[in-house]
Structures are given as structure tokens and as C-alpha cells.
Structure 1
Amino acid sequence: MKTLKTNSLLLTVLFLLTMTASVLAQDAKPKASPAMAATGKVGKATLTINYSSPSVKGRTIWGELVPYNKAWRAGANEATTFITDKDIMVEGKMLKAGKYSLFAVPSEKEWQIIFNSQTGQWGTTRQGANFDPANTVLTVTVMPKKSAKMYESLTYDINAKGFSLLWENLEIPVAIK
């Protein structure tokens, strides 16, 4: 009788261990807005943009999910970061080598792109975009345009002319030299 109880207890423990290992071995569900990075060269400068990439998922993005005329973290989750290893000219204005948080103020006709020296913060608070305007290093104005294709997930593209934010049916090019 005692042996039967011991064997039952051992089988139960073995079963629980097997189930726990099975659950832990399953792939975790992918994040809704996975972390992404875009890296490339513009002239001699190496640029890196680290961001979280939300998806459209049938939603209206511009003017609704991302409101017009309010600062936005230019991605999801943590504030998007922009890193340059050399001084660069962004839309004709000097930006020193360094790491910055990247924010945007979208509107239907033009966008403001904001480079802020405060980094490492979560992208939003209940009051909106999470940055101190006193730490803004550079703000440039750019013109949005219809993208050549639909982008389900937010994407940054770095090329010889600068970088573009691409999402839904919109492209926001930012010229860099």
C-alpha cells in the first residue's frame, strides 16, 4: 500500500514536470509591436534607428490612431531612437553625432521631426509623447507623400538620401547629408 502511494506520488510529480517543460518550451506569442532596427550609411555617417513596429490591423492610422498636430513617439512602446556616429545635416540643419529620441508631429500637409537629447524613456504618458521640449536639439519640417505601396507594419528605411518613415499608405522622407 505504501509502495502504491509512493509510485502514485512519483508519477504525479513526473507528469507535472513534463507538463511544465512542455509549456515552457512552446514559442512565446510574438509581440504586437516587435522591436526593429534600421541601419545604413548616408555619406560617411552610419545611422541607426531603433523602434517598435506597430501594424495597421485594419485601423485608420493618420488622424485617428496617430492624431494630427500632437507629438508622437514615431513608433510604439519605448521612444524611437536615432543614432548617428558623425555630424550630419538634416534638412539643411546641423545635428551633432550622438543618440537622440525621435518624435514626430504629423499633420495632413507637413510633419515636424523632432530630435531630443533625452533617451531611454517610454514613448508616451497619459499626457501624450514623453519628452521634455527643453531637451529638443533639432526640429525640421518635412512633407509627407503617398507611398508606392501599402505598409502593414511601420518601417524605417535608411538610404543615401536620408531616411523615410513608411506606414500605411504614407511616406515621410527626411533628407540627410
Structure 2
Amino acid sequence: MGLQKKIYLLFIALSTVTFVNAQNKPASPAASATGKINGATISINYSSPSVKGRVIWGELVPFNKIWRAGANAATTIETDKDLTIEGSKLPAGKYAFFVIPNEKECVLIFNKVAKQSGTYDYNQKEDQLRVTVKQKASDTSVESLVYTINKNSIVLSWEKWNIPFSVK
């Protein structure tokens, strides 16, 4: 086989691989939510996994274990002004956001080390704030994880749970 034909076949093979990879969407695409609460601009950056017929709470996301509140790298929450989360002060800044869910309530964690790869780098000594909230069951299922910033709250919704927390 001549050199020109080998180069041509290599080009076709590489083009095919590139085309196939371009067709694959990420399993947990990057997502964000931005809004204002009481004059503060809040931005949440996360990867949004889908239910895909799985049981999320207590199985895919185990009870009583720290979870990155999304997929891939840890979710981040950033505010340009001090906030009050469930009655406790959170200074302006950027935080990694984690959740420890269980059957009755969820511990929400705002960690000072914003850039973390999931929970692997997590160090509890770097927690700025921990609050406990009660999740709410929903009659309808949310397929892809989503954060919603409302007038006085933020809600994490996924599968048949909403995890709301008050923000002032």
C-alpha cells in the first residue's frame, strides 16, 4: 500500500472518531443558575446529572454521606454580598457546596475551598457554614438536577425531592 493511500485511510479514521465523539453529549452537562436575593448577585455552577430510571436518594446518592450536590467537580455557589442562610451568616465569596442527605433532613455545607474535584479534596476544617434543612417530597419527578434562585430561597430539585433553603 502506498504512502498516499495510508495517509488517506488515517485521515478517514481520525475524521470518523472525531465525528462520533462530537455526537456524544456529556452525561452530566455543565449548568448554572444566577439571580438576585436582597441585592446580592448569586451564581451557582454545577453539572446536572439525570435520573435515567435510577433511585437517587438513598441509593445513587447514599444517605449520611457527603455529596457534591451535582456531578463531576463540586458545585460552587458565589455571592457578591454577605448572605443569611437559614438564619446564619455566609460572608461574600465563592464556596464549594455539598449536601449530606438522610431520610428526614439534609445538612448543607458551604466550604471555603471553591475548586474541588467532587468530595475527594473535601476538608471539614474548611467549612464556612453548615445548616440543616428539611427536604420536601414532590409528586412529580425532575429528570435533570436543577437549582432555582427565588426571591428569598434557593431550591435544589432532583428526582422527587426539593431541598429548599432560605436566603436573605
TM-score, with normalisation over the residues of structure 2? Answer: 0.91
Q: Distance in 2 between matches of 1:38 and 1:65?
A: 24
* Matched residue SS, 1:13: helix
Match of 1:153 among 137, 144, 148: 144
**Structure 1 residue corresponding to 2:4, chosen from 6, 10, 15:** 10
SS of 1:124 mapped into structure 2: coil
Q: Deviations over 1:50-70 (max 9, x none)?
A: 111111111111111111111
Structure 1 gap segments, 5+ residues each: none
CA distance in 1, matches of 2:110, 2:119: 16
The answer as to whether partners of 1:79 and 1:120 remain within 8 angstroms in 2 is: yes
Report the equivalent of 1:142: 133
The answer on whether the counterparts of 2:105 and 2:132 sit within 8 Å (CA) in structure 1 is yes
Tell me if the contact between 1:62 and 1:68 (Cα under 8 Å) persists in the aligned partners.
yes
Greater gyration radius: 1
The one-letter code sitting in structure 1 at the alignment partner of 2:26 is: K
Alignment length (residue pairs): 167
The verdict on how the C-alpha distance between 1:156 and 1:12 changes in structure 2, with shifts beyond 3 A counting, is same
Q: How far 1:21 moved relative to its partner?
A: 3.3
Shift of residue 16, structure 1, vs aligned partner: 3.5
Distance (whole Å) between structure 2 residues aligned to residue 154 and residue 175 of structure 1: 19
Q: Does the Cα contact within 8 Å between 2:66 and 2:119 map onto a contact in 1?
A: no
Residue from 39, 50, 53 that aligns with 2:48:
53
Query: What is the Cα-based RMSD across aligned positions, in Å?
Result: 1.7
Q: After the TM superposition, which residues 1-177 of structure 1 pair with which residues of structure 2 at under 5 Å, given as runs? A: 9-26=3-20, 27-125=22-120, 130-147=121-138, 149-177=140-168
> What is the CA-CA distance between 1:17 and the residue it aligns to?
2.5
Distance in 2 (alpha carbons) for counterparts of 1:68 and 1:21: 45
TM-score by length of 1: 0.86
Gaps of at least 5 residues in structure 2 are: none
Q: Provide, for residues 96-125 of structure 1, a one-character-per-residue CA deviation record: whole Å limited to 9, x for no partner.
A: 100000011111111110101012111133
2:77·2:95 contact (CA, 8 Å) conserved in 1?
Answer: yes
Q: Sequence identity of aligned pairs in percent?
A: 49
